[in-house]
């Protein structure tokens, strides 16, 4: 009486097909699409005195006037270290300037932006940071 083989066992007489995996291609950073939409993951924010709320912020592309209105570039770039031919940078977000920038770009008044969950604020700030780094040739 032949017992059926259990699942997972392979007859040694059958050739095993070898599959070679293709190496993954590195992901190239993609430029952000404008308007940039960032979903608020933690809690909605009020967008008007009437109590209307939003679950996402839609930012238009910044202009030179937006930088001037927010008090200057909201992302500062510092040279942290130079080792041989390698230069290492630190990127620092100026929170007050970024807050004003976010209000200008989203059309939501700054007092409402200030009430955002801090994790949502950081998410928006870091997404916008890429624009200002790319403009300085760092991204």
pLDDT tens for the chain, 139 residues long, are: 566 566 666 666 666 677 777 777 765 555 568 999 999 999 999 998 888 999 999 999 999 999 999 999 999 988 889 999 888 889 999 999 999 999 999 999 999 999 999 999 999 999 999 998 875 555 4
Q: Give the start-to-end residue ranges of the domains of the chain.
A: 36-135
pTM: 0.71
In this prediction, residue 116 carries a pLDDT of: 95
Collect all residues with Cβ–Cβ distance below 8 Å to 71 and sequence separation of at least 6: 96, 97, 100
Q: Distance (Å, rounded) from C-alpha 115 to C-alpha 121?
A: 9
Helix H or strand E encompassing 127: helix 118-135
In this prediction, residue 15 carries a pLDDT of: 65
Q: Distance (Å, rounded) from C-alpha 61 to C-alpha 84?
A: 37
Query: Do 109 and 103 form a contact (C-beta atoms < 8 A)?
Result: yes
């Amino acid at each position: 009486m032949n017992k059926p083989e259990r699942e997972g066992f392979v007859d040694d007489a059958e050739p095993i097909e070898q599959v070679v995996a293709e190496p993954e291609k590195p992901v190239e950073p993609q430029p952000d699409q404008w308007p940039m939409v960032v979903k608020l993951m933690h809690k909605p924010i009020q967008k008007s005195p009437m109590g209307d709320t939003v679950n996402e912020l839609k930012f238009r592309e910044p202009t030179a006037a937006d930088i001037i209105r927010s008090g200057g570039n909201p992302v500062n770039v510092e040279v942290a270290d130079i080792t041989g031919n390698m230069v290492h940078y630190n990127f620092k977000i100026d929170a007050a300037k970024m807050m004003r920038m976010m209000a200008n770009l989203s059309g939501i008044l700054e007092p409402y932006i200030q009430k955002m969950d801090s994790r949502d604020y950081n998410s928006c700030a870091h997404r916008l940071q890429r624009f200002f780094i790319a403009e300085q040739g760092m991204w």
